Amino acid sequence: MARKRILITGAAGFLGSHLCDRFISEDFHVIAMDNLITGDLRNIEHLFKLENFEFYNHDVSTFVHVPGELDYILHFASPASPIDYLKIPIQTLKVGSLGTHNLLGLARAKNARMLIASTSEVYGDPNCNPQPEEYWGNVNPVGPRGVYDEAKRFQEAITMAYHTFHGLETRIVRIFNTYGPRMRLNDGRVLPAFIGQAIRGEDLTVFGDGSQTRSFCYVDDLIEGIYRLLFSDYPYPVNIGNPDEITILEFGEEIIKLTGTNQKLVTRPLPTDDPKQRRPDITKAREILGWEPKVSRAEGLKITYEYFKSLPKDVIEKIEHKDFANYNK
């Protein structure tokens, strides 16, 4: 039988590259697409030699064409860290809106099933904890984070419209904080920021008083949840994340202990609209997908720390990752 063909957008990013690995291992023909604004070809270069892998350098915010049959589409193209989407707000909005529209049209033309990467950010700064899928969120649409939050909320809305109006097979995953190898060390999120600061011998920066909470899911667990959701029959949003909640102060202490450094935790003002709590209710994932996280934070952090330590010195020392000037003309 011919291999099933799957298009993965954002394929050179952190999650996209792990999805490429997973579907290659499942003997799919993987068509990877990325415009490399925030992605890195080094994340997928080990796949280029394979005959069942191909790569397109393309921006999905413009017309998307893929020749031949297509069975599945995973839409993971988007900046995903505040340091990125605050610098490229228009591109962030476009990839969530125009990009999603283009790919839904492609899915309809190819009769393909499409899964979109939504986010816990659709819940905004939540006033319930943990957050179930039925919670509609507390989002500031005109705040600095609105470009990402509302792009993802629109993405969910148009995906459901294609499902209900056109009968398109769609799936929606709401991803909570995820970590693991291939994260950018300086992407602005708390876990790589803490580890990067520890490796460089800097104090660890805590925003606010550190009482805000996060819950961290190891990447292999997340990829398994996405895989199960794609092949389920459930078209509505499903939270995938680890409900093991921790305050940022406690997390900073864990990183200091893990890295064996003796840095201090220093505080800075809390950014605008930064959520105070982030913890998934994964009841649906357990009941519908038979999924729950398996990798403990201690185990996942150890693997991730070893990955970050193995990076070239210039990458570790480079605090500023990307210059987006060319994209903002």
Q: What is the set of active-site residues? A: 148
Residue 317 C-alpha from the chain's centroid? 24
CB–CB of 19/45 below 8 Å?
no
CB–CB of 53/47 below 8 Å?
yes
Q: Read off the DSSP letter of residue 280.
A: B
Helix/strand/coil for 103: helix
**For 101, what's the count of Cα atoms within 13 Å in the CB-facing half-sphere?**
10
Closest by Cα among 42, 44, 45 to 11: 44
**For 89, what's the count of Cα atoms within 13 Å in the CB-facing half-sphere?**
10
CA distance 34 to 76: 9
CA distance 170 to 156: 10
CA distance 319 to 210: 22
- Token pair in block for residue 279: 């913890």
Residue 267 main-chain phi, psi, to 5 deg: -100, 150
Whole-Å CA distances, 36 to 39, 41, 79, 156: 4, 8, 10, 24
**Residue 89 preceded by cis peptide, ω within 30:** no
Other beta carbons less than 10 A from residue 203's beta carbon:
13
**For 179, what's the count of Cα atoms within 13 Å in the CB-facing half-sphere?**
31
CA distance 142 to 168: 31
